[in-house]
Every structure is written in structure tokens, then in C-alpha cells.
């Protein structure tokens, strides 16, 4: 018997809704969630394929490249952590954990006196940001990054603004940027040069949408400009993570890693950060399925996907979005694993 259950897409910070299709209690696909206020049934390829996290999930824990049961892996992890000075243990998050999980991770780090770091694409938390509707109704939209390709449901709002007569100015890293196809003017400069070039064109009804910067100075410049901005993060709960953990730049994280003997990671950091993680003495991954980081990890602890638990994300415009479990699971959640480590 087919059932359809609503949930959120975990692929970026936009916060789109998706429908998950179950047949006889097993997840078999996705289906457009046409009543969702953010994406109205439209999903990018990452959203459609997000169920792969569940379909490819780990069945066993892994210790030293050998499968084992979860209790043995947690016991081995506990022994490893107890043998290392707490100042040499670092927890690294990228913004893909739910609000509830990141709160538990932060409390765990503080209780053990571990270092904790959060990487947010070198972006920052702007307290006042543009809503998606403000993007769609802007008089002019200034785009940093290929939003139409990388965050297409935000790109859709930019297209709507263009259809209503807005001017679109786009900065890209490549001449092949999809966003360039709808832009009135395109740039291949630094972010700072782009902001200086377009500053005279900005008014209070303009919006700047961006998913990368070159430097902290770019963020300072964006904050000083007299219009609303919308940073779009690559991970689902970066905006919510700022409330619990201070973000660090890539350089700051690399400096911290140089003094780390045991690293606990909650995402695919190898894919995100330019660092040789094989230099870490003990690399521990908490992951639902295989990724580049788990392949080089000493210990892999399987965790529930977002489909198997209740929780919440905070999307790019600051809205808290709740999601509910769509399927039962024998895997432990991050919160349940932390409880076991605290025993």
C-alpha cells in the first residue's frame, strides 16, 4: 500500500518541502509537495535524490575498517576519547545537524571540555535578512554565485523578480554560470570589486543574494550596504547552528586541526574543507551513509537520517521548520549516541 509523507529537503538552507513515497513501509521515491510554501512542488535534483541518504545507510558500525555492532563501536570510541587529553579533542560541524542535535553536540563538547568548531562556508549570520518574497519583488537583484544552478529554488525567485521588471546583476566564478543567462550585466571580478561597481545602483528595494564571499572584508561590506541581503548556505541548518556554536573561518579551523589528536565529525568534511585529514591521529565519523570522510575514518558510527526522526531546521531566511519521522529505524540518533557516551 502506497503512503505519502511530508518532510523537508536537507540538501541546502533554502528549506524546500518534499513528499516521500512509501510502499509497504519501505521508502521508494519522492513526489512533489505542491502545497509547500517555499517550493510549491518544485525540487532540484539534490532534493529528489535526498532519499539516497536513507537508501544507502550503514547497516553496521565500522572500527579499523571492520564492521562491528554499534555498542562495541561506541565502547571503543569512549575508550579512545578517555585516553586523550580533552584539549586535543575537536568536534567539527558543518550545519547539517538539526537544531536539537546541535544543541546536544554543543552540550556534550562543553561537558567534556572539547573544542568545537562550526564551518559555515566562510559566511556569517546576518540578523536581518531578506525573505524569499522580498527577493521575488525586488527592484534589482545582485547575485554573488551561481544561484540558479546551485540553489535553484532561490534562483526561481530571482527569475520571478526579472519577470516583474527587476534588473539582475550577477557575479560568477565562471563564464558558464547559469545565472548569467538571465542577468542584465555580468561580472567575473572579486566580490569586493563587484560590490564597489554596483553600489551606486543599489536602493532600499534592492536585494543582494549570495552563496560565497572571498574574505571577511566582503562580509563587512555587505553588512554596511543599505539594502537587505540573503546569504544562502550549502547546509540545511547553518542558520540554526549559529545560535549554538560560533562559526570559524577555514584558516581558523585548519589552525585548530593542527593541534587535534581526535576529531569527531558530523558531515563529509573531506568534501568541504581543503585539509589533509589523514594527518589526524583518530578520525571519528558520525554518518548515515558512506562518504569521502567515512572512507578514511578510524571509527564510523551509523546515525539516523532526518527521515527517521523528528527535529527542526532554520532556513536561510530565519524560519524554523519542523519535520517529523517518516519511517521507523533501529539506528540510534546523534542524541541517543551522546547519551551513551555520557554513561
User: Is 16 in contact with 39 (CB distance < 8 Å)?
Assistant: yes
The predicted pLDDT at position 336 comes to: 97
Query: Reduced to 3 DSSP states, what percent helix, strand and coil does the chain have, rounded to the nearest 5?
Result: 35, 25, 40
Model confidence pLDDT, tens digit, residues 223-252 = 999 899 999 999 999 999 999 999 999 999
User: Contact 270/292 with Cβ under 8 angstroms?
Assistant: yes
Answer for the pair 7, 324: CB distance below 8 angstroms, yes or no: yes
Answer yes or no: are the C-beta atoms of 207 and 228 closer than 8 Å: yes
| 2 Cβ contact partners less than 8 Å away, ≥ 6 residues apart | 21, 22, 23
What is the DSSP track for 179-208? GGGG-SEEE-S-HHHHHHHHGGG--TTEEE
d(CA 174, CA 190): 12
Crossing angle for the helix pair 334-341 and 70-82, to the nearest 10 degrees: 50
What does 11-28 look like in DSSP terms, one character per residue? SSSS--EEEEEEETTEEE
- What pLDDT, on the 0 to 100 scale, is given for residue 106? 97
Return the pLDDT at 137.
97
pTM of the complete model: 0.93
What cell was used for 20?
Answer: 516521500
- For the beta sheet containing 2-8, the strands, ordered from the edge strand earlier in sequence to the opposite edge, are 2-8, 17-23, 26-31
**HEC readout, 90-148:** EEEECCCCCHHHHHHHHHHHHHHCCEEEECCCCCCCCCCCCCHHHHHCCCEEEEECCHH
Amino acid 3: pLDDT: 92
CB of 56 within 8 A of CB of 34?
no
Tens place of pLDDT for every residue, the chain, 343 residues?
889 999 999 999 999 999 999 999 999 999 888 889 999 888 898 999 999 999 999 999 999 999 999 999 999 999 999 999 999 999 999 999 999 999 999 999 999 999 999 999 999 999 899 999 999 999 999 999 999 999 999 999 999 999 999 999 999 999 999 999 999 999 999 999 999 999 999 999 999 999 999 999 999 999 999 899 999 999 999 999 999 999 999 999 999 999 999 999 998 899 889 899 999 999 999 999 999 999 999 999 999 999 999 999 999 999 999 999 999 988 899 999 999 999 8
Helices (H), 207-330: 216-224, 238-241, 250-257, 269-272
Amino acid at each position: 500500500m502506497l503512503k505519502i509523507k511530508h518532510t523537508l529537503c536537507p540538501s541546502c538552507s533554502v528549506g524546500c518541502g518534499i513528499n516521500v513515497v512509501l510502499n509497504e513501509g519501505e521508502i521508494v521515491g519522492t513526489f512533489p509537495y505542491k502545497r509547500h510554501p517555499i517550493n510549491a512542488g518544485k525540487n532540484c535534483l539534490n532534493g529528489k535524490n535526498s532519499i539516497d541518504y536513507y537508501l544507502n545507510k550503514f547497516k553496521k558500525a565500522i572500527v579499523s575498517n571492520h564492521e562491528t555492532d554499534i555498542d562495541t563501536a561506541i565502547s571503543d570510541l569512549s575508550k579512545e576519547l578517555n585516553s586523550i587529553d580533552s584539549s586535543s579533542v575537536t568536534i567539527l560541524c558543518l550545519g547539517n545537524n538539526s537544531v536539537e542535535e546541535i544543541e546536544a553536540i554543543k552540550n556534550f563538547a562543553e561537558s567534556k571540555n572539547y573544542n568545537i568548531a562550526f564551518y559555515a562556508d566562510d559566511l556569517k549570520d546576518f540578523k536581518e535578512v531578506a525573505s524569499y518574497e522580498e527577493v521575488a519583488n525586488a527592484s534589482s537583484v545582485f547575485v554573488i554565485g551561481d544561484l540558479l544552478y546551485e540553489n535553484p529554488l532561490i534562483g526561481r525567485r530571482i527569475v520571478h523578480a526579472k519577470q516583474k521588471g527587476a534588473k539582475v546583476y550577477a557575479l560568477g566564478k565562471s563564464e558558464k554560470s547559469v545565472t548569467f543567462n538571465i542577468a542584465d550585466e555580468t561580472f567575473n571580478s572579486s566580490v569586493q570589486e563587484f560590490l564597489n561597481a554596483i553600489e551606486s545602483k543599489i536602493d532600499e528595494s534592492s536585494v543582494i543574494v549570495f552563496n560565497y564571499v572571498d574574505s571577511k572584508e566582503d562580509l563587512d561590506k555587505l553588512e554596511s550596504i543599505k539594502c537587505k541581503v540573503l546569504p544562502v548556505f550549502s547546509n540545511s541548518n547553518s542558520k540554526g547552528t549559529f545560535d549554538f556554536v560560533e562559526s570559524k573561518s577555514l584558516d581558523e579551523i585548519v589552525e585548530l586541526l593542527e593541534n587535534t589528536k581526535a576529531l569527531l565529525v558530523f558531515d563529509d568534511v573531506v568534501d568541504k574543507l581543503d585539509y589533509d585529514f589523514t594527518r589526524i591521529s583518530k578520525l571519528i565519523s558520525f554518518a548515515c551513509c558512506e562518504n569521502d570522510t567515512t572512507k578514511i575514518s578510524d571509527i564510523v558510527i551509523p546515525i539516523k537520517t532526518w527521515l527517521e526522526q523528528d527535529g527542526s531546521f532554520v532556513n536561510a531566511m530565519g524560519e524554523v521548520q519542523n519535520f517529523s519521522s517518516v519511517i521507523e529505524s533501529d539506528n540510534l540518533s546523534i542524541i541517543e549516541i551522546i547519551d551513551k557516551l555520557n554513561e
